[in-house]
Structure 1
Amino acid sequence: MARLRRMPRQLHAASGRPRRSYDQYCATARALDAVGDRWTLLIARELLAGPRRYTDLHADLPGVSTDMLASRLKDMEREGVAERRRLPAPAAATVYALTDRGRALLPVLDALAAWGGPALTDPGPTDAVRAHWFALPLRRLLGALPTGGATGLVDVRVDEGEFHVRVGALPVDECHEPYGDGPAPGGADTRLALSTTVCAALARGDLSLAEAVRRGEVRVHGTGEVAVLLGASTGPSGHRPG
C-alpha cells in the first residue's frame, strides 16, 4: 500500500494554509481549514446580521474568551472571510464585517440550522438565549411559503427581544443583511409575535408555521405580502379576529 505523504508543518505558511490544516487535498477539508475551528461559524452567524464592534460580538457570544475571540477574528481576516472597517464620524468605531466570501457562508449556516433544529429541546440551565439566534430557522420557514416570488421585511418579537429577517429574492450584500437584531431599519411590512417555545417548535419541525398561525400561537400583523399570505389581522394588536 502506498504511503500517504503529509506536508511538513513548516511549509504551511508558504502554502497559505493555517498551521492546523488537515493536509487533505479535498474541498471539504479546505473549507474546514478556514472555518472549522470552534466559534468561527458562530462569529459568522453574528456578522451576517451586519458589521459589529468587538465588544458587541463578545456580548452576543457568551462563553468565548476575549483571547479566543480575538484569535478567531484574526484567523477570519487571514482567510478573507472577515475584515476590519473604521466607521466614519460621529461613530468613529472599528467594526468587523464579512467579506463577499464570508457572506457566502449563509447557505452553510442555513443548512446547519435546519440540521440542528431537532436538537432544540428544552434549554438547559446554563444555555444562553438571544432573540436573533432564531432568525436562521424562521427565515428558512418564511422563505418556504408559497410566495411566488414575494419579498418583504419581517419584524419578529419573541420573549427575549426582537429581530428582523428579509424574505424572498432580496439582495444579500453588505447593505442588505439577511437578518438583524432589533426591528428593521425603516420599518417592516410584516410583524410576527410568538413565544420562544413556539419558535423552537417551529425550528424542530414539530409545528408548521401555518398551523401555529391558525392556533393563534403566532400573531401576524401588517400589509406586506408575507403578512397577507399568513392571514394578518388588521387590528392594532396583531391578534387575529376571533
Structure 2
Amino acid sequence: MAENRKTYGEGCIAAHALDLIGDRWALLVVRELMLGPKRFGALRAGLPGVATNILTRRLEDLERVGIVRRRSLPAPASAPAYELAASGLALAPVLRELCRWGAAMPGHDPGLPISPTALMLSMEAMIRPAGRFTAGFEMAGEAFALTADASGLQIRRSDAGTGEMSFAGHPNDMASAIYGPAPLADVVASGRIRFTGDLGRGQAFVDLFRLRHPVPAGEDA
C-alpha cells in the first residue's frame, strides 16, 4: 500500500479490510464492476455523484491493491476497461449483506438515482425464491438476462429481449415497478416502463422481490 494512503493503523482484520475498500466511493466502484467490465465513461454514468478525479483516484487505489485490473474489451469496442480481480469478485457477499442490512434501516430515499447494476444486485439480495422465471431487463443502455429459481437469482449481461418476459425503462422507474406497491399492470399502463410477456407471470416474478421493512427497536425481525 502506498505510504500516503490513509489507514486506521490497527491490527484488526476488519480495519485492514476498510483500509482497502473503506474510502468513499470505493465499494460502489466495486458494485458497478460486479456484473462485468466497464469503460471509465460507463462507470461514471453509474456513479453520477462522483467527481471524475475522485473516480480516477479510486480506480488507481483499487488497482494498486489488486482488487481492480485493466483489460481491453473485444471488438467492436476494442477499448480499455476495468474489471474486478478475484479479490474484488469475492466482495459479492459483502454487497448482498449491505443491501439487506440497508433495506432494514429507516431513511432510504427511493427517489435518488440508482444505476442498472445497483438495481440488479439489490434484486439478487432481496429475492425470495419460488418457481422458475426468465426475464430480460434493459435500462440506460445496459441489458441483463435474469433466471430466478429455487437457488435464487442469476444475472448476466446479455442482449435485450432475453427470457420469457422483458422489462425496459429508466432504472428508477424499474425499481418502483419491482419494489413499489402498485400492480405491474398499472405501472405498465402508466407508461413508466415497457413490458412484454404474460402480465400474470410478470406479476408473479415481481412478487418475488420485497424490501425488508425497518425493525422497531427491541423487536426481532
Q: Same fold (TM over 0.5)?
A: yes
Alignment of 1:150-169 (within 5 A): 153-156=134-137, 163-164=143-144, 165-167=146-148
| Partner residue in 2 for 1:99 | 85
Match among 34, 37, 40 for residue 54 of structure 1: 40
**Given the superposition, is the C-alpha separation of residues 92 and 26 from structure 1 closer, same or farther in structure 2, using an over 3 Å criterion?**
same
| Partner residue in 2 for 1:136 | 121
Match among 116, 120, 139 for residue 108 of structure 2: 120
Shift of 1:231: 7.4
Query: What is the DSSP-based 3-state SS (H/G/I as helix, E as strand, rest coil) of the residue aligned with 2:82?
Result: strand
| Alignment coverage as a number of residue pairs | 189
Query: What is the DSSP-based 3-state SS (H/G/I as helix, E as strand, rest coil) of the residue aligned with 2:137?
Result: strand
| Partner residue in 1 for 2:163 | 189
CA RMSD in angstroms comes to 3.7
The amino acid that maps onto 2:136 is D
- Contact kept, 8 Å, 1:48 with 1:106, in 2: the verdict is yes
Shift of 1:20: 1.0
Match among 21, 24, 44 for residue 7 of structure 2: 21
**Given the superposition, is the C-alpha separation of residues 121 and 54 from structure 1 closer, same or farther in structure 2, using an over 3 Å criterion?**
closer
The amino acid that maps onto 1:154 is A
Match among 132, 146, 152 for residue 130 of structure 2: 146
**Inter-partner Cα distance in structure 2 for 1:156 and 1:186:** 7
Query: What is the DSSP-based 3-state SS (H/G/I as helix, E as strand, rest coil) of the residue aligned with 1:97?
Result: strand
- Contact kept, 8 Å, 2:137 with 2:143, in 1: the verdict is yes
Gaps of 5+ in 1: 1-11, 171-176, 202-206, 233-242
**Inter-partner Cα distance in structure 2 for 1:136 and 1:87:** 23
Structure 1 length normalisation: TM-score? 0.62
- Contact kept, 8 Å, 2:37 with 2:82, in 1: the verdict is yes
| Partner residue in 2 for 1:6 | none
User: Matched residues, percent identical?
Assistant: 31
**Inter-partner Cα distance in structure 1 for 2:205 and 2:41:** 40
**Inter-partner Cα distance in structure 1 for 2:33 and 2:49:** 17
Query: What is the DSSP-based 3-state SS (H/G/I as helix, E as strand, rest coil) of the residue aligned with 1:96?
Result: strand
**Inter-partner Cα distance in structure 1 for 2:161 and 2:43:** 24
1:199 aligns with 2:182: no
Query: What is the DSSP-based 3-state SS (H/G/I as helix, E as strand, rest coil) of the residue aligned with 2:197?
Result: strand
- Contact kept, 8 Å, 1:81 with 1:98, in 2: the verdict is yes
- Contact kept, 8 Å, 1:40 with 1:76, in 2: the verdict is yes
Query: What is the DSSP-based 3-state SS (H/G/I as helix, E as strand, rest coil) of the residue aligned with 2:71?
Result: strand
- Contact kept, 8 Å, 2:138 with 2:160, in 1: the verdict is no
Query: What is the DSSP-based 3-state SS (H/G/I as helix, E as strand, rest coil) of the residue aligned with 1:137?
Result: helix
- Contact kept, 8 Å, 2:136 with 2:160, in 1: the verdict is no
**Inter-partner Cα distance in structure 1 for 2:10 and 2:155:** 33
- Contact kept, 8 Å, 2:69 with 2:82, in 1: the verdict is yes
**Given the superposition, is the C-alpha separation of residues 134 and 81 from structure 1 closer, same or farther in structure 2, using an over 3 Å criterion?**
same
Larger Rg belongs to: 1
- Contact kept, 8 Å, 2:130 with 2:149, in 1: the verdict is no
**Given the superposition, is the C-alpha separation of residues 169 and 117 from structure 1 closer, same or farther in structure 2, using an over 3 Å criterion?**
same
| Partner residue in 2 for 1:86 | 72
**Inter-partner Cα distance in structure 2 for 1:37 and 1:228:** 39
Alignment of 1:61-76 (within 5 A): 61-76=47-62
